[in-house]
A = this chain, B = another copy of it.
Amino acid sequence: MYNQGTIIAKATGAGSSAICLFRLSGNDSIKMVSKYFQAKSKKKLTEQKSHTVHLGTLHHNGATLDEVLVSVFKAPHSYTGENIVEISCHGSNFIQEAILRLFISKGAQQAKPGEFTLRAFLNKKMDLSQAEAVADLIASESRAAHEIAINQMRGGYTDEISQLRQKLLDFASLITLELDFAEEDVAFADRIALKDLLWSLQSKIKSLLDSFQYGSVIKKGVPVAIVGKPNAGKSSLLNALLKENRAIVSAIPGTTRDTIEDTMTLSGIEFRFIDTAGLRETDDQIEAIGVAKAKEKVDLARVMIYLFDAHDTSLSEITSAIKEFKREDLIVLLVENKIDLIQEAGESSLTKALKEQSYHIPTHAFCSISTFDPDTIEQLKKTLYNQIKKIAVQGDVVVSNARHYEALQNALGAIIEIGEGLESELTGDLLSVHINEAIHFLGEISGEIGNDELLGNIFSKFCIGK
């Protein structure tokens, strides 16, 4: 999988720009660039120290390609652990193509997606979970997603996994002790310690698994479906929610107005609001279509806001709509709109009852708003944010990667097997099979256990140049 040749890629964004950065990595990279680079200082690039920058020109066949800055990083003190050259050139399309063409014609290979990071992993500059965090970091669009990724990239996850592994090793040594003396009937106290250890191992993995629910919504943004009858004020609510965040409204390019209305970031967490058609009352058949359409969208959501006008909605309508959409992992916010009108007309009996919670409607929170009153909208935002924060687990480490989630689940399975084996007094040999399994699955996360297919699959999702 690891070819030792020099790779090259453009690492910066598309199109023409002030500056464009090329990266070359490989043991020959400095030598290769030095042939076509003339430093203003006349010094040879190959004789320069690591981590230095040099102004000069790139030339080929007597023609000057560009005036460039060249940075030199020497193995092993570089991102990949190999010699790296970074060329910072003027960002014209012509120059970009000419530089790429020059070095490819001289034997460099165009880097595959993630190949720089793959090399860093293979050269043990980072473990696999750190490498994966690099891709997550580049894709992160909100503070929360960014925090999870940067913590993982800086080794927070690695620490957690290595603590788990240490516990497994402790367990392995304890069990050896326990089994060695089992027939002599001396080790009863050890057996309790053994079970405690197994328990703490399980509970740690379970809490990591729990964090996945939070991690995966944070990574992709929290989808919120706004549901309600026509004229409940869904569009006004959306406008009121987004008003002060207009600037980042079009953060997701290519979203069609039909499916995702808009995104906004609340205290660093990205929310994606999904519009639904108003639920119609006029005719049973039409209503069914409306509900089916809305249901499709609620199925994609993590949060449902059921919006209603208390003077135009019956309790049974609310109850049946919420029951229709209810799902175990769906957070339901019941939101009463148009309370400015209520202040004139007086509070309805429905509102009173809902406030007193005298009806049992399965929701997570109840809010009263007016889209004309910014304070009530702020209150709704806080409620929304707090509901998501509730599913956030304690601790720095959040699992946001489906592959890690699966590996943790498999490790947990193996640990449960150890517990059961212990109960049924399996021999040490048989128990060690499960212990090794658990160690194996944790190793998949850090990449100590892996194969080419797995690596290829992971790194193919990277962008080129990283």
Which residues of A are at the interface with B, using a C-beta cutoff of 8 A? 9, 11-21, 23, 51-55, 63-67, 71, 73, 86, 88, 90-95, 98, 116, 134, 137-143, 145-147, 150, 153-154, 251, 463-466
Closest to A14 in B: B13
Chain B residues with Cβ under 8 A from A21's Cβ? 12, 19, 21, 88
- Give bound CA distance, A209 to B202, whole Å: 82
Partner of A150 from B11, B12, B17, B66 at Cβ < 8 Å:
B66
27 A-B pairs, CB-CB below 8 angstroms?
Answer: A11-B17, A13-B16, A16-B138, A18-B463, A19-B466, A21-B88, A51-B52, A51-B53, A51-B54, A51-B55, A52-B52, A53-B73, A63-B147, A65-B150, A66-B137, A67-B150, A86-B88, A90-B138, A91-B138, A92-B139, A92-B140, A92-B141, A93-B141, A94-B142, A94-B146, A95-B146, A98-B143
- Using Cβ atoms and an 8 Å threshold, which residues of chain B touch A95? 137, 140, 146
Most buried by B among A51, A93, A94, A150: A94
Tell me the smallest distance from the CB of A325 to a CB of chain B, in Å. 32
Interface pair A17/B134, CB less than 8 Å apart: no
Partner of A19, one of B146, B154, B465: B465
Least Cβ–Cβ distance between A64 and chain B, in angstroms: 5
Say yes or no: A137 contacts B12, CB within 8 Å.
Answer: no
Enumerate the 8 nearest inter-chain pairs by beta-carbon distance, A residue then B residue, closest first. A13-B13, A18-B466, A18-B465, A12-B12, A11-B19, A13-B17, A11-B18, A51-B53
Output the nearest chain B residue to A151 by Cβ-Cβ distance.
B64
Q: Report whether A94 and B12 are in contact in the complex, using a CB–CB cutoff of 8 Å.
A: no
- Given contacts A92-B140, A147-B63, whether A15 and B13 have CB atoms under 8 Å apart is yes
Report the nearest B residue to A251, measured CB to CB. Answer: B93
Most buried by B among A13, A15, A18, A142: A18
Q: Are B139 and A16 in contact (CB under 8 A)?
A: yes
A20 contacts across to B, CB distance below 8 A: 12-13
A66 to B151, CA, bound (A): 10
Minimum C-beta distance from A401 to chain B (A): 16
Chain B residue at minimum C-beta to C-beta distance from A63: B147
